[in-house]
Amino acid sequence: MKRIEILKTYKIYIGGQFPRTESGRYYTVNNSEGKAHANVCLCSRKDVRNAVVAARKAQGAWAERSAFNRGQILYRIAEMFEGRKIQFIDELTQQGQTKKAAQAEVNMAIERLVYYAGWCDKYNQILSSVNPVSSSHFNFSSCEPMGVVGIIPDQQSPLLGLISLLAPVIAGGNTAIVLASVDYPLCAVTFAEVLHASDVPGGVVNILTGALQETAPTLSSHMDVNALVTSNLGNEVNTPLQVAAVDNLKRYFDYKQDWNNSSAQGLHFIGDLQEIKTTWHPIEQIGGATSSY
């Protein structure tokens, strides 16, 4: 007799917990054969709001962790991911990919996490500067995370596209609200479980599923979100989001990129989500007039 499988409930991830959407709604995701495969949360504006609150609450402490520690945690995500490769490959194939393509995507996703894990305690050294000002002051510029970042990944790259945007955001000390691919949300939720098992503090990453037309405008207009990152959404989706983002002058980045490309990674993805802060302080000895030793 064939064993009855245990089916998975795909829930959303907010503040380190896996609630269902507060709206109680769902939508059905089909597998590659067109059969109903899972019921996924159809998130509402309020879920977005809750996710932003969670992300804001987590942001200060995440940014103040040592860069080394953030690197360890990102590496830990890769480790946990590695252990669940088969599940991700399975979900990707359920969603219509060939097994070979799914394997390649999963491998690259892990490598991308390792890549950004290594950046955590280095990017600030590369992007900072000591500025030789003309007056008797010590002056330096360094990076600070922008804060709470909304992420709408490439809808056609549900795993690698998501990780490619998310990893540089959290590597740089930001916290994130991710709107998962509408049609292919399964591995986003499974990835949340990986995050949950990887010492990532609750609220640092929040992942929602549902319809973009409902969640994206809320996210892009939310006054407590500092930046919005999107990829390959197309102008029709993008422009209204960009307009809505203006009200609190969100930093807005839209990456047109093939994330399967091994070079679709780099320091600038971290740097884009950093503010440059410049600090001045007087130096007592230069140009001394009271004691010219």
Partner 1 sequence: MAKTVSQIILDASKVDKVGVEERVARIQTRSVKGTSKVQGLKMALNMIDLTTLEGKDTQGKVRQMCYKAHHLHDSIPDLPAVAAVCVYPSMVKFAKKELRNTSVKVASVSTAFPSGQAPLEVKILDTKFAVDQGADEIDMVISRGKFLQGEFQFVYDEIAQIKEACGKARLKVILETGELTTLDNVRLASDIAIHAGADFIKTSTGKIQPAATMQVTYTMLMAIQDYFAETGIMIGMKPAGGISTSKLALHNLLMVKEVLGDEWLTNQWFRFGASSLANDVLMQLIKCESGIYASPDYVSID
Partner 2 sequence: MNKKEKWPLSPSLESTQHASIKKQYSLFIDGEWVKPSSGVYFPSINPADESHLASIAHANEKDVHLAVQAARKAFPLWSKLPASERAKYIFRIARIMQEKARELAVIETLDGGKPIRESRDIDVPLACNHFFYYAGWADKLAYAFPNRTVEPLGVAAQIIPWNFPLLMAAWKIAPALATGNTVVLKPAESTSLTALKLAEIIEEAGLPKGVVNIITGFGDTGAAMVNHPDVNKIAFTGSTHVGKIIQKAIAGSSKKATLELGGKSANIIFDDAPIDQAVEGIVNGIFFNQGHVCCAGSRLFVQENVAEKVIRKLKLRLKSLYVGNPLDKNTDIGAINSKEQLETIESYIAIGKKEGAEIYQPTCNIPKKGYYCPPTLFINVAQSHRIVQEEIFGPVLTIQTFRTVDEVIQKANNTPYGLAAGVWTDKGSRIFNLTTKLKAGVVWANTYNKFDPTSPFGGYKESGYGREGGVHGLSAYVKLS
- Interface with partner 2: number of residues (CB under 8 A): 32
Binding letters toward partner 2, positions 257-276, x by CB under 8 A: ---------x-x------xx
Residue identified by tokens 């219509």 is 96
What's the closest the beta carbon of residue 128 comes to partner 1, in angstroms?
A: 23
CB of 284 to partner 1, least distance (A): 5
Asked if 249 is part of the footprint of partner 2 (rule: CB under 8 A), the reply reads: yes
d(C-alpha 95, C-alpha 11), whole Å = 17
Spell out the long-range contacts of 92-100 with Cβ–Cβ below 8 A and sequence spacing 24 or more: 92/158, 92/159, 92/187, 93/32, 94/31, 94/32, 94/37, 94/186, 95/29, 95/31, 95/32, 95/158, 95/183, 95/184, 95/186, 95/187, 96/32, 96/184
Q: Is 277 in the site for partner 2 (CB under 8 A)?
A: yes
- Asked if residue 134 binds partner 1 (CB under 8 A), the reply is no
Determine the 3-state secondary structure of 109 from DSSP: helix
Q: Which does 289 bind (CB under 5 to 8 A by kind): partner 1, partner 2, none?
A: partner 1
Q: Within positions 129 to 148, which residues make up the interface with partner 2, using CB under 8 A?
A: 129, 131-135, 137, 139, 141, 144, 146
Of 131, 136, 248, 278, which one interacts with partner 1 (CB under 8 A)? 136
Smaller CB separation from partner 2, 93 or 128: 128
Q: Which of 46, 261, 279, 286 binds partner 2 (CB under 8 A)?
A: 279
